[in-house]
A and B are shown apart, each in its own frame.
Chain A
Amino acid sequence: MKILILEDEKEISESIAAFLKKEGYVCDFAEKLTKASQLVNLFEYDCALIDLMLPDGSGLDLINLIKQKQPKCGVVVISAKNSLDDKVSGLNLGADDYLTKPFHLVELNARIKSLLRRRNFDGNNVIEFEDIKIELEKRKVSIKNKVIELTRREYDLLLFFMSNKERVLTKEAITEHIWGDNSNAFDNLDFVYTHIKNLRKKLSESGAVDNIQSVYGVGYKFAAK
């Protein structure tokens, strides 16, 4: 999987790349629109992360180019410009997703994965890990081929965990992912715990290995035991 990162702040693109490399992605960087355009003309990408405010133009132009040259490439807009209009115009131009900087790296990871899944596995979109199987289209979870009933929150949590295997998910990242941007009004994030507790209970009752570990003081991690 190849990802193009168009971002003028080198520090940011480096940390994004450092995170994504561990997922097995190959990352190319561009700090300017011109360089990004050259790269798009030369190589094929599965996904492009595009900052809108660039020293030599707007990232919206690159979205246009990608849509013409590589219609299969997914586009995620990452913008510091907390502008609602940018979001709309970005999505109208064919961007698949939109993230406002600063974002959680695990959130970006989940978004990229979901985007790639949507693009690559038409109709038959399944994530599996050990005994757990998620059928994304049907929002169905089964363990050892036995369907289990999860609440909406539990399902979203499990999917988020399975998109970020072996990663520490902080409570902040989980809250923003599940409850959305507006949940950041809450500093006391204990309500996350209840849902995770219930999810773990349901998983282990159904005979799956409890892969959710709590990382003291920070958050949780989904990893093979």
Chain B
Amino acid sequence: MKLINKISRYYLLNSTIVFFTAFAAIYFALNWIIKDDVDEQLFVNKQEIMKKISKGIPVDNPPFIEVTELNKKMSFEQAPGDTSIYQAEVNEMEPFRQIVSFYSSNNKHYKLTVRTSLIEMEDLLISLLIIFTVVFIMFVAILYFINRKTTKEIFRPFYKNLFKLKKYSIKSGETIELDSSDIDEFTELNVVLNELSEKASKEYQALKEFTEDLSHELQTPVSIIKSRLELLLQRKLVDEEMVEDLRKAYQNINKLDKLNRSLILLAKLESKDFFDSTKINIGETVKKIIDNFADIAESKNIAITSNIYSVNNIVCNVTLADVLVSNLLSNAIRHNYENGKIEVYLSESLLRISNTGCEQPLNEEKLFSRFDKNITSKESIGLGLAIVKKICLLYNYKIRYSFEKQMHIIEVEF
């Protein structure tokens, strides 16, 4: 939920609670005040009626005044109370306030009931409450909009900065330029964010440099080990165990060499180093690489069918285009089974390589990450697709993976 909506929601909820409480309080208070007034009036009326009775003036005026003669004297007085009386004129029960008292005069005993209609009072009460409600709602509504506007205004730098943060990439090596605000909390947040981004950026750069340096530093010792082992292999070796040890060492130094080369290329791609790009005929590249790998595929009895329609040139570095297509195709061969299939399709702007392989679809996100254990078969070093992805990123090509009809499909849109 957006902050502004959350604030509005709290505001409205609290206003509603306040409204109902105030409404109830006002209702009871008014009710009490009015009834008190009415009661006072009833007492005054009663006194006057009593005077009239003693003078013998007829006073009966139902339902407002009722006088009943009694046989014996009664002398208790009821507190004023509410009652309802049927009114024939309107065919309804209507509320009244009444006091009942007993009165004796000239040896006659009377029960005296004096009433006042409460209809007017109720009308008044309702009118007052309606006015109160309308005023309150208008008040809340106006405050609601003022609140929203101020909140928006106050949070404007916050949202602006949020947008900048979203776009910020630690890889850029730049610091974030955040909008200043006169609110202390936001200023503090900016300071903290700036420090954080600077620190993260520095550490990222350091780590990146370390990886690059490490790969470069490794090249020389790897070179030396490799050439020394090759010299050793040229000797007449009689000890079979020694040959085996040597073979293992040689195989693995080659693996290390490949790995290191891939890491150097990845680091180069990641640092967005300048690559000389020229117009290249991608169709020719694809044909050349299929041709080069055809016998390797054949050794696994994999059939490669290709439909190449592109006559289009794309702008790319020659070596990187080669690496892109080779990695995709070698991947399709490596993760295939004997007697499998590979289909290569190239149109104006789309390269699609589909291959048979394991029967489950692969996790797309993991597929393009480094060293994914799921797809890392014994013979793969797990960097091929990571490199492909990075090349696509460099040239803004779109890359997709899908699994259809038991085929793993990787599409590159140039």
B323 touches A182 (CB 8 A): yes
Q: Take A82-B265, A102-B257, A182-B289 as given contacts and tell me if A15 and B231 are in contact as well, using a CB distance cutoff of 8 Å.
A: yes
B292, CB-defined interface residue at 8 Å: yes
Q: Take A194-B299, A195-B295, A218-B233 as given contacts and tell me if A101 and B223 are in contact as well, using a CB distance cutoff of 8 Å.
A: yes
Residues of the A chain whose Cβ atoms lie less than 8 Å from the Cβ of B97: none
Chain A residue at minimum C-beta to C-beta distance from B250: A170
Chain B residue at minimum C-beta to C-beta distance from A182: B326
Residues in B341-392 with C-beta less than 8 Å from chain A: 378-381, 384
A187, CB-defined interface residue at 8 Å: yes
Q: Take A106-B230, A185-B380 as given contacts and tell me if A217 and B296 are in contact as well, using a CB distance cutoff of 8 Å.
A: no
Residues of the B chain whose Cβ atoms lie less than 8 Å from the Cβ of A172: 250-251, 254
Q: How far is the CB of B231 from chain A (nearest CB, A)?
A: 6
Residues in A7-31 with C-beta less than 8 Å from chain B: 9, 11-12, 15-16, 18-19, 22
Residues of the A chain whose Cβ atoms lie less than 8 Å from the Cβ of B244: 217
B379 touches A187 (CB 8 A): yes
Give a binary string over B266-301; 1 marks a CB under 8 Å from any A CB, 0 the rest. 001000001110000000000001001101101100
Chain A residue at minimum C-beta to C-beta distance from B267: A82
Give a binary string over A186-209; 1 marks a CB under 8 Å from any B CB, 0 the rest. 111011001100000000000000
CA–CA, A184 to B320, complex, Å? 15
Q: How far is the CB of B244 from chain A (nearest CB, A)?
A: 7
A168 touches B323 (CB 8 A): no
CA–CA, A153 to B295, complex, Å? 9
B230 touches A19 (CB 8 A): yes
Q: Take A102-B257, A183-B296, A217-B244 as given contacts and tell me if A9 and B223 are in contact as well, using a CB distance cutoff of 8 Å.
A: yes
Residues in B166-209 with C-beta less than 8 Å from chain A: none
Interface size (A, Cβ < 8 Å)? 45
Residues in A141-170 with C-beta less than 8 Å from chain B: 153, 167-168, 170
CA–CA, A138 to B145, complex, Å? 89
A105, CB-defined interface residue at 8 Å: yes
CA–CA, A183 to B293, complex, Å? 8
CA–CA, A153 to B228, complex, Å? 28
A88, CB-defined interface residue at 8 Å: yes
A129, CB-defined interface residue at 8 Å: no
B220 touches A12 (CB 8 A): yes
One of B48-56, B124-132, B136-144, B327-335 contacting the partner: B327-335
Residues of the B chain whose Cβ atoms lie less than 8 Å from the Cβ of A168: 233-234
A42, CB-defined interface residue at 8 Å: no
Interface size (B, Cβ < 8 Å)? 54
A104, CB-defined interface residue at 8 Å: yes
CA–CA, A151 to B402, complex, Å? 37
A185 touches B230 (CB 8 A): no
A102 touches B222 (CB 8 A): yes
B296 touches A179 (CB 8 A): yes
Q: How far is the CB of B370 from chain A (nearest CB, A)?
A: 15
CA–CA, A81 to B216, complex, Å? 8
A-B contact count (CB 8 A): 123
Q: How far is the CB of B42 from chain A (nearest CB, A)?
A: 106
CA–CA, A106 to B250, complex, Å? 14
A18 touches B295 (CB 8 A): no
Q: Which listed residue, A15, A186, A194, touches B334 by the CB 8 Å rule? A: A186
CA–CA, A219 to B246, complex, Å? 12
B148, CB-defined interface residue at 8 Å: no
B265 touches A12 (CB 8 A): no
Q: How far is the CB of A115 from chain B (nearest CB, A)?
A: 19
CA–CA, A186 to B334, complex, Å? 7
A130, CB-defined interface residue at 8 Å: no
B384 touches A185 (CB 8 A): yes
B26, CB-defined interface residue at 8 Å: no
Q: Take A182-B330, A188-B379 as given contacts and tell me if A102 and B234 are in contact as well, using a CB distance cutoff of 8 Å.
A: no
Residues of the A chain whose Cβ atoms lie less than 8 Å from the Cβ of B275: 84
B214, CB-defined interface residue at 8 Å: no
A186 touches B330 (CB 8 A): yes
Q: Take A168-B234, A179-B296 as given contacts and tell me if A102 and B219 are in contact as well, using a CB distance cutoff of 8 Å.
A: yes
B258 touches A184 (CB 8 A): yes
CA–CA, A187 to B319, complex, Å? 22
B399, CB-defined interface residue at 8 Å: no
Q: How far is the CB of B387 from chain A (nearest CB, A)?
A: 10
17 contacts between A and B (CB under 8 A): A12-B220, A15-B230, A81-B216, A82-B264, A84-B320, A102-B223, A104-B230, A105-B230, A106-B230, A153-B295, A168-B234, A182-B289, A185-B327, A185-B331, A185-B381, A186-B333, A219-B233
Residues of B within 8 A of A (CB): 216, 219-220, 222-224, 226-228, 230-231, 233-234, 240, 243-244, 246-247, 250-251, 254-255, 257-258, 261, 264-265, 268, 274-276, 289, 292-293, 295-296, 298-299, 317, 319-320, 322-323, 326-327, 330-331, 333-334, 378-381, 384
User: What 15 additional pairs, Cβ within 8 angstroms, besides A16-B227, A82-B264, A217-B247?
Assistant: A12-B224, A15-B228, A15-B230, A18-B231, A82-B219, A82-B261, A82-B265, A84-B275, A84-B317, A84-B319, A85-B274, A182-B323, A185-B330, A191-B298, A217-B243
Residues of A within 8 A of B (CB): 9, 11-12, 15-16, 18-19, 22, 80-85, 88, 100-106, 153, 167-168, 170, 172-173, 179-180, 182-188, 190-191, 194-195, 216-219
> Which 9 A-B residue pairs are closest in the complex by CB-CB distance?
A187-B379, A102-B223, A182-B326, A191-B299, A185-B330, A15-B227, A11-B224, A102-B226, A80-B219
